[in-house]
Amino acid sequence: MPRTVENGQFKMVISKDWTSGFFRAELWYFYDYIRNKKWLSLAKKYTEDIKKEKFNRGTHDLGFMIYCMFGKWL
């Protein structure tokens, strides 16, 4: 997932990164605000990629990683 832009390029992170849920949550918030099915489809697609982290017990950042997106989805 994209974390930021450095030198004109996306800096990507893996699902275990503490910021990995931010981009996904933004997709859910876009859908919630705009109500365009395009955003819903993207939010669902990218949220599937991080579901496995709900079992991650090796971080104290789990709320950052999954709460906003799963809270919106549910």
Residues 6 or more apart from 54 whose CB is under 8 A from it? 62, 66, 70
pLDDT score for 65 = 85
pLDDT tens-digit readout, 26-36: 999 999 999 99
Which residue carries 């709320």 as its tokens?
63
pLDDT score for 64 = 79
Rounded CA-CA distance 72/58 in Å is 24
pLDDT tens-digit readout, 43-58: 999 988 888 998 999 9
- 14 or 66, higher pLDDT: 14
Say if residues 12 and 2 touch (Cβ distance below 8 Å).
yes
